[in-house]
Structure 1
Amino acid sequence: MRRRAHAHRAVGRLPRGAPVAGPEGRGGTGHGGAVDGLGLPTLPERGIRQTTALPRHQRLGPSQGDGDAAASHRPRRRLGQARRGDDPPRPGGDPVAPRRRSGLAPAHRAGRQRAGLAQAAAEAARQRLPRRRRTPALAQRPRPGHGAPRRADPRDRRRPRGILLADRRCLQRQRLPALPRKGWRAAALRLRLRPPDRGKLGDGHGRAVPAARREPGAAAMSTRLLFVSKGEDASSTRYRALQFFPLWRAAGFEPSHVTASGGLRATLDMLRQARRADVVIVLRKTFPAALLWLLRRASRRLVFDFDDAVFCNTDGTPSRTRMARFAAMARACDRVFAGNAFLAGNAAAFNPAVTLVPTSVDTARYRVEAEKPVDSLDLVWIGSHSTRKYLAEAMLWLKVAADAVPGLRLKIVADFDLPGCGVATLPVAWRAESEAQELAASHIGIAPMRNDDWSRGKCALKVLQYMAAGLPVVSSKAGANAEVIVEGETGYLASTTAEWAERIAQLAGDAELRWRMGEAGRRRAAADYSIEAVFERLRSVIEGLA
């Protein structure tokens, strides 16, 4: 009786006398029996255990009449459940069972919904970013109005983007970072590094076009050159960049200089100016892999100019780190300018586009008249604190020469002095305005140096300055010095202490010989190593790139 009362209470919300439609359509009840006077279904004959409450979707609604025994109340749809009219009716007229609820917990379902929303937002952001249109090759692109493709132009080839990754072993040695290559982050990075006028002046491949191929309005614009170095006071910047600026402007170019050293602000300024230039020329400086990748992406044309053996240590020993950075720099550039034959041979191992551009001097600036001392014979050495070691190693033969030549004095045009070296010295602070005057007021120029890889990378700047000033030169037989000096005509090459002392004594005792060698050296410097002669070689290469 207790169970029967519980069943009556469970179905007490049914209206009095309302028939119940059973699942099998027998007797209009949900239990296969009849309805009593209170509107409650009677128990079947199989026992009280089958007397349970009707499911909600099988209960009758208040709007149904008492005489409609075949009608059934439509169940309330759950979240994610299809309408009842969409499912085909089962045979026998029984109602459609509700769909099974997902087995995921509410927290898991919410996490899946958030993941779907995040993915949809990322896809929308990716579609909103402007992407660089990759056009097919010109050989596959039909001409306007013609069905046949036109002949490919070799000038329209796409330039290589980023660091060339052909050598996988070298890539592993460089340990390049995982930089963005796909997705919306890479697209945003390309958008920031793309010059604003690249699409106007470019040929569709992200590079500048020559002036002959530009539009009439853009033909008058000059080619913009950007020189990147560690500072304006560096000798490589002064002799391989700044002294050519008047000639570049006279030829219709717009040269500018930016310092790459100085922290994050200087780096961002360099990248900002690089994307506006037509040709970027990096002077003697190598960069880490990530910064080199950014510079390569920002530059239309990239050139590496070096006049030192930056791939080894300063003592001439090999360096794996410097060699890896030098190799990456040479591979990433469109052209390499080398200061001498030794440097050009090392660069050609990583980039075949190498041009030999020797260091040059303004010979007109060194053609000055100065009074030479009469009571002493001055040997002059010009340099800096970084090359002091070469002069310190020459003190042995300088003492021997001082004993053989009375009144011998060493003039040091630099930022240091060598007191107590056993030879009379005359220190002179280096200044760009007075260096030509100090050289012209001397008798003999000396250039001692070692015979290692670092010394072989030197480009004989001291020798060229001595020759432009009209001085005979005595130098070590090593590196580019041996290529510039003509033995017995413009100077002498010495290897031992005895040879050094003998050549200095020979020049000290013959003023006519000093004058004749000085004039021959001045003519050679003006013909082969003047800024006018070297500029013509530079101009032809830069015009081909731009």
Structure 2
Amino acid sequence: MANSGKHIFFLAPYPKGAAPSQRFRFEQYLDYLKEQGFNYSFHPFYDQKAWETLYAQGKTGVKLFHLLRSFMRRTLLMFQLHRADYIFVHREMSHVGPPIFEWITTKVLRKKFIYDFDDAIWLPNYSEQNAKFQKLKMYKKVFRIMRWANQVTAGNTFLCKKAREFNPHVQFLPTTIDLHYHTAEAKKEGKLTIGWTGSHTTAKYLHDLVPVIQELNNKYDFDFLVISNENPGLDLPNLKYIPWEKNSEIKDLNLIDIGIMPLEDSVWTHGKCAFKILQYMALSKACVASPVGANLTVIKEGENALFAQSEKEWYDALEKLIFDENLRYELGENAFETVKNHYSVVANREKYLSLFQK
């Protein structure tokens, strides 16, 4: 093979398989790269032990210990980068602090690297558990990292436009779905289910929909399912909560009949890569979403999903889908084709492979 012996170093914030941004932006391409003759090594900033304490309440001393260990490992890695034919950096080489390792890579070692990001990560965004560390993040460092990179890949057109302010070599690479992993199950029996999945940080977008769900629940019998790492505690009598688990995420998503993705209209949400919608669509679910950010690219209104912005629009769209099973089926089938043709791993793997042929 032409690529035989070529070695790619993947540098990312978290352990392999731990974070959705890593899993669905590059980790699911690793086996394909091996098939194409590449070797690779994976180098997270935080190891598994550090990751397990990162979002724990308190434990400041333990977190500082793991942070120092992480910096030490990254420092030692700098002595190995000469072996890399390609260096792929997802988000940042170090989770906190200035871009010192990126500077060493480009200015001292004279190595090129590919920089990949999703989300508007130059904006402050942190959990309550780690609020005291947020000043160490130095969010704006991503602009320097973009400038130093040989290539930049970003998850939507808004992010690409931002990256081109700092680097002309920018490629749109969507967050993608592995359709061998996201597989729809046979039609479920029982009560209709409107559902949402996401982390506790994005659950805030559900609160504006509570009056809509309450009003619909007065007229129709359905469950409102939330799959998340925390119970959002919404005031809904039909709320069902399932803790997110990696080993059951697809089985749990298949419980949904109508998937939703409400968002506010802000710079942060313009950086979102429509991943919730893509997950629902990959499982042939009918969807309703806010017309914000990448949702505008993925969704063709009335063909593969519905848009809703005001409370009335959300009520009308959800009522239409509750009432019309044929419409749910039609939107779901078209949604699957959209993912298969444009947002699946198979549809994008040659574009991904091209990053390592320059």
TM bucket normalised to smaller: 0.7 to 0.9
Query: Aligned partners of 1:269, 1:390: CA distance in 2, in Å?
Result: 42
Aligned residue for 2:115, secondary structure, equals strand
Does residue 1:342 correspond to 2:149, yes or no?
A: no
Check whether the contact 1:239–1:361 (CA below 8 A) recurs between aligned residues.
yes
* Stretches of 4+ aligned residues off by more than 4 angstroms: none
Structure 1 residue aligned with 2:64: none
After superposition, the CA RMSD in angstroms is 2.2
Structure 1 residue aligned with 2:45: 260
Q: Give the superposition deviation at 1:437.
A: 1.7
Structure 2 residue aligned with 1:271: 78
Does residue 1:383 correspond to 2:194, yes or no?
A: no
Does residue 1:485 correspond to 2:270, yes or no?
A: no
5+ residue gaps, structure 1, are 1-210, 212-218
5+ residue gaps, structure 2, are 47-66, 127-134
Check whether the contact 2:282–2:335 (CA below 8 A) recurs between aligned residues.
yes
Structure 2 residue aligned with 1:226: 9
Does residue 1:465 correspond to 2:279, yes or no?
A: yes
Match for residue 173 of structure 2 among 357, 360, 374: 357
Query: Aligned partners of 1:384, 1:272: CA distance in 2, in Å?
Result: 37
Cα deviation, 1:170-199, whole Å, max 9, x if unaligned, reads xxxxxxxxxxxxxxxxxxxxxxxxxxxxxx
Query: Aligned partners of 1:486, 1:239: CA distance in 2, in Å?
Result: 23
Query: Aligned partners of 2:328, 2:300: CA distance in 1, in Å?
Result: 14
Are residues 299 and 410 of structure 1, via their aligned partners in 2, closer, same or farther at CA, if it must alter by over 3 Å? farther
Structure 2 residue aligned with 1:401: 216
Structure 2 residue aligned with 1:291: 101
Of 268-277 and 325-334, deviating more is 268-277
Query: Aligned partners of 2:294, 2:3: CA distance in 1, in Å?
Result: 41
Between the two structures, name the one with larger relative contact order (CA 8 Å, sep ≥ 6). Answer: 2
Query: Aligned partners of 1:271, 1:462: CA distance in 2, in Å?
Result: 36
Aligned pair count?
Answer: 321
Query: Aligned partners of 1:272, 1:386: CA distance in 2, in Å?
Result: 37
Q: Give the superposition deviation at 1:393.
A: 3.4
Q: Give the superposition deviation at 1:408.
A: 2.3
Are residues 420 and 479 of structure 1, via their aligned partners in 2, closer, same or farther at CA, if it must alter by over 3 Å? closer
TM-score, normalising length: structure 1: 0.56
Q: Specify the code of the residue in structure 2 equivalent to 1:518.
A: G
Check whether the contact 2:93–2:101 (CA below 8 A) recurs between aligned residues.
no
Q: How does 1:16-35 map to 2 (within 5 A)?
A: none
What is the percent sequence identity of the aligned residues?
A: 29
Are residues 498 and 257 of structure 1, via their aligned partners in 2, closer, same or farther at CA, if it must alter by over 3 Å? same
Q: Give the superposition deviation at 1:412.
A: 1.2
Does residue 1:521 correspond to 2:335, yes or no?
A: yes
Q: How does 1:175-324 map to 2 (within 5 A)?
A: 221-231=4-14, 232=16, 233-261=18-46, 262-263=67-68, 264-285=71-92, 288-296=98-106, 297-298=108-109, 300-314=111-125, 324=140
Does residue 1:367 correspond to 2:150, yes or no?
A: no
Query: Aligned partners of 2:272, 2:121: CA distance in 1, in Å?
Result: 11
Aligned residue for 1:502, secondary structure, equals helix
Q: How does 1:47-58 map to 2 (within 5 A)?
A: none
Query: Aligned partners of 2:216, 2:3: CA distance in 1, in Å?
Result: 61
Q: Give the superposition deviation at 1:399.
A: 2.1
Q: Give the superposition deviation at 1:307.
A: 0.7
Cα deviation, 1:216-256, whole Å, max 9, x if unaligned, reads xxx77422112111113111111112111111111111122
Q: How does 1:489-508 map to 2 (within 5 A)?
A: 489-508=303-322
TM-score, normalising length: structure 2: 0.84
Are residues 420 and 381 of structure 1, via their aligned partners in 2, closer, same or farther at CA, if it must alter by over 3 Å? closer
Does residue 1:476 correspond to 2:290, yes or no?
A: yes
Cα deviation, 1:325-365, whole Å, max 9, x if unaligned, reads 12210111100001100000000001000000011001222
Q: Give the superposition deviation at 1:269.
A: 4.1
Q: Give the superposition deviation at 1:308.
A: 0.8
Q: Give the superposition deviation at 1:490.
A: 0.9
**Larger strand fraction of residues:** 2
Query: Aligned partners of 2:280, 2:140: CA distance in 1, in Å?
Result: 36
Q: Give the superposition deviation at 1:458.
A: 0.5
Query: Aligned partners of 1:346, 1:222: CA distance in 2, in Å?
Result: 35
Check whether the contact 1:487–1:493 (CA below 8 A) recurs between aligned residues.
yes
Q: How does 1:75-86 map to 2 (within 5 A)?
A: none
Check whether the contact 1:236–1:284 (CA below 8 A) recurs between aligned residues.
no
Cα deviation, 1:365-407, whole Å, max 9, x if unaligned, reads 2223244242x22111111122222223332322233234x22
Check whether the contact 2:227–2:242 (CA below 8 A) recurs between aligned residues.
yes
Query: Aligned partners of 2:237, 2:110: CA distance in 1, in Å?
Result: 52
Aligned residue for 2:84, secondary structure, equals coil
**Larger helix fraction of residues:** 2
Q: Give the superposition deviation at 1:420.
A: 4.9
